[in-house]
Chain A
């Protein structure tokens, strides 16, 4: 599958701060790549690199195998977090404006949003706005889609519908780069690239990321006391109702609770994506 966007050991420095550190990233046709970051700086900078809005301090960024340029950008559909739509124009007006701006042939509004076409964008609920933004970005048949947090703030059903649109575009041949903060969304991607402090922390499927990480699960009638003890000791606890999950070994947790006189049942369970992510991030910052 052809490579649409690529960075090779790319680094961006702002003075003393290194936003992106020696990052390798590839996006191919027909695949959905998720960019998951521990903090914002790396992801935004990478996108700006690929779009040619920023030059690297070292390494290279390639868009359609060339240095990112205005003509290369014409083949990209980009939806920023702020959607890039005009709230005081209708859907159809936004559509025709974008087509004209990209010099594409004027076609009518697609069926997925045709029932909204005469409404002012500003009056639409967020989920609908995002779908419109996505359709507009796709209007000039781009080969690469770059979506910045496409489903932020949208509920489960809206998210599913948006992902339907995204998948469909990938099936039509586009490559999709998605940035996300959301674990569920990350699970929808074919491949995940995790950025930690500007470096690539992991690159693979969700399964690869979780690998065989495990956490200790604590069930106790006196769960509040258990929480207190574990918290004070510095453990990072994830609470599910009154069940506690701690990224530590069963033995360690059992011993600690026993010493403090708290009766609890401790078992070992596989980590979920978020726990794996946090474990990876903390390992990186201490490594």
Chain B
């Protein structure tokens, strides 16, 4: 039984935040939802968790007790200590007593917050706060772990440690779904959903997404922007020819995952048709 969204649409008045989006999660895997700001990533996850009502389609999720959720901002109480935050989360999910204390100690050790136990949530750095929020969601060993932009804006070392926690959770059997704006994180997933303005632009494993990009990718080194669908990379430009024919003098390049994502986003914005496999 997989959890996820099926042909889900969400409308807020005149705005359509999500349109006909399908995403599935499997135990022991990490699914990543990638997109820019306003793409609908948060709405997608909140619909999955039940914070947002669907205008169409279906959401499948386990009972509340088995869900762990970390919102994009917050998720912890700044005026409670690390210990108290964990205690509240444990209590809310029905884990009480000594067992809970032992588990939270273990978790604190593993995420490196053991020395900060008595610090107030508000006193922690950004990275530590996100780790604490994640720990609170992991305390009750959820079957479905939903994380909304857990690593946006935190330092690389904390980000690395967050992904350790996430990987551990998946390796331990949880179905994990994470939203992010960082494409290199998406590359680590078993399956990726690329959202653009509320619609699914691409879906599948990172490899299949790269393979599904039609046409050819080229590199242009001159400083002027080449005609056509192009974007800046370092000191040069990348040029995508959907038809497969690169202009003269343009060196072809094997697309990496980031290239594939940019191409798919461009295609999505300009409504250029891609292969059936990416829809």
Contacts and interface: CB of A to CB of B under 8 A. Distances in A.
- The reply, when asked whether chain A contacts chain B directly with Cβ atoms under 8 A, is yes
Interface of A: 36-40, 81, 125-127, 149, 152-161, 163-164, 167, 171, 181-184, 187-188, 190, 223-224, 227-228, 231, 236-242, 272, 274, 277-278, 281
B171 interface: yes
Interface in B152-184: 152-160, 163-164, 167-168, 170-173, 181-184
B167 A227 contact: yes
Contacts, number: 133
B232 A163 contact: yes
Interface string B179-202: 001111001111000001000000
Given A153-B153, A155-B34, A158-B37, A236 B164 contact: yes
B153 A239 contact: no
Contacts of B38: 125-127
A160 B223 contact: no
Interface in B228-279: 231-235, 258, 261-262, 265-266, 269
Contact of B39 (A152, A155, A160): A155
5 contacts: A81-B153, A156-B183, A183-B182, A242-B190, A281-B157
B226 interface: no
A159 B36 CA distance: 9
Among B37, B153, B188, B223, residue most surrounded by chain A Cβ atoms (within 10 Å): B37
Contacts of B225: 164
B70 interface: no
Given A227-B171, A239-B167, A157 B262 contact: yes
Nearest to B237: A164
A281 B261 CA distance: 30
Interface of B: 28-30, 34-39, 125-127, 149, 152-160, 163-164, 167-168, 170-173, 181-184, 187-190, 196, 205-206, 223, 225, 231-235, 258, 261-262, 265-266, 269
Nearest to A125: B38
A240 B157 CA distance: 18
A126 B231 contact: no
Given A155-B35, A156-B34, A160-B232, A231 B171 contact: yes
A233 to B, nearest CB: 13
Given A39-B127, A181-B153, A278-B157, A158 B36 contact: yes
A39 B172 CA distance: 29
Contact of A224 (B158, B171, B184): B171
Contacts of B154: 181
Contacts of A155: 34-37, 39, 181, 196, 265
A123 to B, nearest CB: 11
A93 B65 CA distance: 50
Contacts of A152: 152-153
Contacts of A236: 160, 164
Given A38-B157, A278-B160, 8 more contacts: A155-B265, A157-B36, A157-B231, A160-B231, A163-B233, A231-B168, A238-B163, A241-B29
B269 A157 contact: yes
Nearest to A36: B156
Contacts of A149: 153
A26 to B, nearest CB: 19
Contacts of A157: 36, 196, 231, 262, 265-266, 269
